[in-house]
Amino acid sequence: MDKMYLQGMKFYGYHGVFAEENKLGQQFIVDVILNLDLHTAAETDDLNTTINYAETYDYIQRIAEGEPVKLIEALAGKIASQLLDVYTMVHEVTVKVTKPSPPFKVFFDGVTVELTRSRERV
């Protein structure tokens, strides 16, 4: 299976458990790996035979900057399931969401959740 990576996408959202997070918002970093067959696209050089990553970015942005959720697990799950719904040529998707500035005293680069969903496990 071939892979398309969308890495280091930065969005401003209002996700979190604490009221301050929902009011002030913060940055989230999203990485997505789409598993799909890119054989035809590689041979034909035709955009209609692949996923348009600019459109995919816009779709992920609407989710990440949209309706707030409490957990980054829920955000990652929402992105994964909706990408599988929209892009039928994707067989499996891996979504990684990083919250670089959790609202408590920590000394690390953030907290990350990564999950993988496939058509068989939606």
Helices 72-86, 53-64: crossing angle, 10 deg rounding: 140
Is-contact 83 55, C-beta < 8 A?
Answer: no
Of the residues 23, 96, 99, 105, only one is catalytic, namely: 99
Helices (H), the chain: 19-24, 39-44, 53-64, 72-86
For the question of residue 99 being annotated catalytic, the response is: yes
Cα–Cα nearest to 33, from 4, 61, 62, 55:
4
> In whole angstroms, what is the distance from residue 83 CA to residue 63 CA?
10
Active site residues: 99
